[in-house]
Amino acid sequence: MPIEVAIFIEHIINGLTLGAFYALVTLGLSLIFGVARLVNFAHGDIFMVGGYTLFLLLNLSGVDLPYPLIILIVVVITAIVGLLVERVVIHPILNQSWRVQAVATLGISIVLQNLALILFTSDPKQTPTPYSRQIIEVMDIRISVQRLIVLVVVIVAFVGLQWFVKRTQLGKAMRAVSQNREMCQIVGIDVQRIAMLTFAISAGLAGLAAALMAPLFSVTPTMGLLITLKALAAVILGGLGQVNGAFYAAFLLGMIEALFGGYVSYQFRDVVSFGIFVLILFVRPQGLFGRKVGL
Amino acid sequence: MPRNGAQPLLEVSQLTKHFLGVTALLDVSFDIYPGELLSLIGPNGSGKTTLFNCVSGFLKLDRGQVRFKGEDISNVRPDKIALKGIRRTFQDVRTFQEMTVLENLMTALQQHQEENMIERVLGTQRIQQFEHAARERALELLDMVDLRPWQHMQARHLAYGQRKLLEFVTALMPDPDLIMLDEPAAGVSGEMVDRMKQHIRALNAQGKTILVVEHNMRVVMDISERIVVLDYGRKIAEGTPSEIQTNELVREAYFGH
């Protein structure tokens, strides 16, 4: 296979992994937006907490935990962090204006960042797994095993989440709450409990993303902000409240970044993805998959 | 009126509610007995909807008590009250707009069943039986109000009258002990009013206890066993339709002095 073609395919695979990663983070963000009607500016920081949890678990002295178990522990811990954040900060402001909510979630973000700074300093931490340096080569195409794991797990997680929302009582209740909170109370759905569980699930998804993706780059206290912004871009691009739209938009962003980063400039890839985001909103203010809302 | 010395199903005693100094309800008391159809009437702003909201938990009471099956349910959260067996409709019709007609009904029942996630994943027989029974009941109710052909249509595409019927059967879905209907005949065509009336009557004939708020006097006089009249947040009369029709205070409240 010509080397150009092999490289192109590698970039496409990188784009898919990056997109899968954004999709996972974005899913969590749009779940919370749908159910609690608030934008969680601390979502990326929950990811960061997941990254440091992974770092600690990989460096436990004397214990060598298998990677799947580590992923599970990271998901559980971030879910608990999400639950705590909901109980302590979000719960009291669930029915407040969006300004109050924005300040509160930005506050959570600042607190988490500074806690990480105190505990781990600003030095980037590496979190290599046994798979992140393992490369498989098929017909001149070189892919790290870690990236393949990311792709597979995200697809499984997405299918699982679809099933959960469509089939289970809790999932249906989440759908119901995102449509009409008052109506939920009439049919006996405990809105507060659903909001709490949604936060836990959303944080768990961010944790899953961290456990999968952090091994491919390093963990720093301030890494959350860019992730929140990317996820937010995908949510808006997909059309607010359209969970599936946000999912596809996340893949689009990942693909743009991987191709631009691979062929043009790695440093400017964020500029390009946000630039295209702004351009698309010029043409379709309702997002790519959003329904047009008349004013 | 008490039947065979039965306990009241719902007891409202000295219910009082103020809004920023305006008295919406003052010392309102009445009981509903099992199997009864009681209507709440009164001129605009007399406190009927406020009373509905207080009983169903959507508003906090300032004073007084609401008891359901002997249990104090004053200031209990609306979702908890719903699960205790009181279902209501709204004057301005509420449905899950993005769900299909059938999903609306299924959602109204689902919360009554504690779910075991493992059973759900395995799709055990118990879960399947529950789903099957729920679907059967939903389709029965849809047949009753002729909505079955629309079962897979999203609620937002239905006509107003159809949504009203959907909201009505959604309230019936979990087979509640008390059904509260807020203006079931408001905003729909004459033909639909008659259909609503028939449905309510049939339901009551099956032994359901129903509390109705309604403006349409013809409907109220036709279907009610007993009527409570509110005016400026106070109960001014209570009695059978014929008693209410000849009551001087009620005439004054409606037609002025």
Q: Any chain B CB within 8 A of the CB of A179? A: yes
A255 part of a folded domain:
no
Looking only at the bridges linking them, the beta strands covering B71-72 and B63-68 are antiparallel
Query: Which chain A residue lies closest to B113 (C-alpha atoms)?
Result: A169
Q: How far is A169 from chain B (nearest CA, A)?
A: 6
Share of chain B above pLDDT 70, in %: 91
pLDDT in tens, B80-134: 898 888 999 988 888 888 888 988 888 888 665 555 556 666 667 777 777 888 8
Say yes or no to pLDDT of A155 above 90: no
Looking only at the bridges linking them, the beta strands covering B234-239 and B71-72 are unpaired
CA distances (Å), A254 to each of A7, A227, B174, B184, in order? Answer: 17, 12, 47, 52
Say yes or no to pLDDT of A286 above 80: no
Whole-number pLDDT of residue A48: 92
pLDDT in tens, A169-213: 788 888 888 888 888 888 888 888 888 888 999 999 999 999 888
A265 part of a folded domain:
no
- The partner residue sitting opposite B95, judged by closest CB among A167, A183, A189, is A183
Share of chain A above pLDDT 90, in %: 14
- The partner residue sitting opposite B79, judged by closest CB among A175, A180, A185, is A185
Determine phi and psi for B24, rounding to 5 degrees: -85, -35
Domain boundaries, chain B: 1-85+176-257, 94-172
Q: Any chain A CB within 8 A of the CB of B87? A: yes
A80 part of a folded domain:
yes
Whole-number pLDDT of residue B246: 81
Angstrom distance (rounded) from CA B247 to CA B245: 6
Q: Which CATH architecture has domain B1-85+176-257?
A: 3-Layer(aba) Sandwich (3.40)
Angstrom distance (rounded) from CA B38 to CA B143: 26
- The partner residue sitting opposite A172, judged by closest CB among B57, B110, B174, is B110
Tokens of B64: 């007084």
Tokens of B9: 């199903």
b/e map A229-251, b = 16+ CB within 10 Å:
bbbbbbbbbbbbbbbebbbbbbb
A84 part of a folded domain:
yes
Q: With beta carbons under 8 A apart, name residues in chain B contacting A179.
A: 96-99
Q: How many domains does chain A have?
A: 1
User: In the predicted model, what is the mean pLDDT of residues A225-238?
Assistant: 84
Among B48, B76, B36, smallest CA distance to B60 is for B76
Q: Domain containing A48: what range?
A: 3-222
A270 part of a folded domain:
no
Q: With beta carbons under 8 A apart, name residues in chain B contacting A176.
A: 96, 99, 107
pLDDT in tens, B19-57: 887 888 888 888 999 989 999 988 887 888 889 899 999
Count the Cβ atoms, other than its own, within 10 Å of residue A226: 11
Q: What SS3 state is found at A25?
A: helix
- The partner residue sitting opposite A172, judged by closest CB among B77, B83, B107, is B107
Inter-helix orientation angle A43-58/A67-85, to 10°: 140
